[in-house]
């Protein structure tokens, strides 16, 4: 999958401004969750929902080909929850919205996915590095698995995550390791 490069043209390149991005990314999480429920219940419009969400929110949403169950699974659909938004980190030209896993059961929620938003689209995503719990450090040194970034890009170019210009904290993750990373921001 080709992800267009994120151009750095200062403010104009990014929607960048809180509170705008928080409701925007949450609306994506709602659409994504609705699509997941449609898939789990084998709703006839499941595929169309997935494609529509991807078209509207951008090519970097991530793996949208949820696995379809052999039989409708309303119980799992009922238990699934929308991603929780923990924070938005701001960079020059883009933002990173950091959230839980779509499949992760409450109440212990860890940082899982980071969605990169620029030009009012999700242009790429990353997963939290499992080795360092997104902190970028492991045993007091820069983490080798993510080169200190804390995040591993999924199917996209590697973005420079070393110099955030700020962070907007939304709510803390409840998993202790993720909470420690969140507290340190
Ligand atoms: Zn790491």
Enumerate residues with CB within 5 Å of ligand 1 (an ion). 129, 131-132, 143, 145-146
Most confident option among 9-13, 146-150, 170-174: 170-174
pLDDT mean over 85-105: 88
Residue 4's pLDDT band (cuts 50, 70, 90): very low
CA of 162 to the centre of ligand 1 (A): 13
CA of 19 to the centre of ligand 1 (A): 29
- Does the pLDDT at position 9 exceed 80? no
- CB 150 within 8 Å of CB 159: no
**pLDDT value for 105:** 67
C-alpha angle 30-34-35 in degrees, rounded to nearest 5: 120
- Does the pLDDT at position 60 exceed 70? yes
CA of 34 to the centre of ligand 1 (A): 31
The beta-carbon contacts of 176-181 under 8 Å, at least 24 apart in sequence, are: 177/110, 177/133, 178/86, 178/109, 178/110, 178/111, 178/128, 178/133, 178/134, 180/133, 180/135, 181/111, 181/133, 181/134, 181/135, 181/150
Which residue intervals of the chain are DSSP H helices?
21-40, 46-57, 74-79, 176-184
CA of 135 to the centre of ligand 1 (A): 7
CA of 113 to the centre of ligand 1 (A): 14
- 75 backbone φψ class: left, alpha, beta (φ>0; ψ -120 to 50): alpha
pLDDT mean over 97-119: 86
The encoded tokens of residue 167 equal 């962070």
C-alpha angle 56-160-176 in degrees, rounded to nearest 5: 85
Peptide bond into 160 cis (omega under 30): no
CA of 152 to the centre of ligand 1 (A): 8
Lookup result for tokens 């993510």: 146
Q: How far apart (Å, rounded) are the C-alpha atoms in residues 50 and 95?
A: 23
Residue 174's pLDDT band (cuts 50, 70, 90): very high
Whole-prediction pTM: 0.84
- CB 72 within 8 Å of CB 43: no
């Amino acid at each position: 999958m080709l992800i267009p490069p994120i151009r750095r043209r200062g403010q104009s390149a990014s929607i960048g401004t809180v509170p705008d991005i928080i409701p925007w990314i949450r609306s994506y999480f709602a659409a994504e969750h609705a699509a997941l429920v449609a898939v789990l219940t084998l709703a006839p419009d499941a595929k169309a929902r997935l494609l529509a969400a991807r078209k509207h929110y951008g090519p970097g949403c991530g793996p949208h080909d949820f696995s379809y169950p052999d039989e409708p699974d309303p119980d799992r659909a009922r238990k699934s929850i929308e991603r929780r938004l923990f924070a938005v980190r701001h960079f020059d030209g883009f933002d990173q919205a950091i959230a839980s896993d779509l499949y992760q059961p409450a109440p212990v929620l860890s940082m899982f996915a980071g969605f990169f938003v620029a030009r009012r689209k999700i242009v790429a995503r990353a997963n939290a590095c499992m080795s360092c719990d997104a902190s970028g450090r492991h045993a007091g040194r820069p983490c080798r698995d993510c080169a200190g970034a804390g995040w591993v890009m999924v199917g996209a170019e590697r973005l420079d995550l070393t110099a955030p210009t700020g962070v907007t904290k939304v709510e803390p993750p409840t998993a202790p390791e993720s909470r420690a990373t969140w507290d340190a921001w």
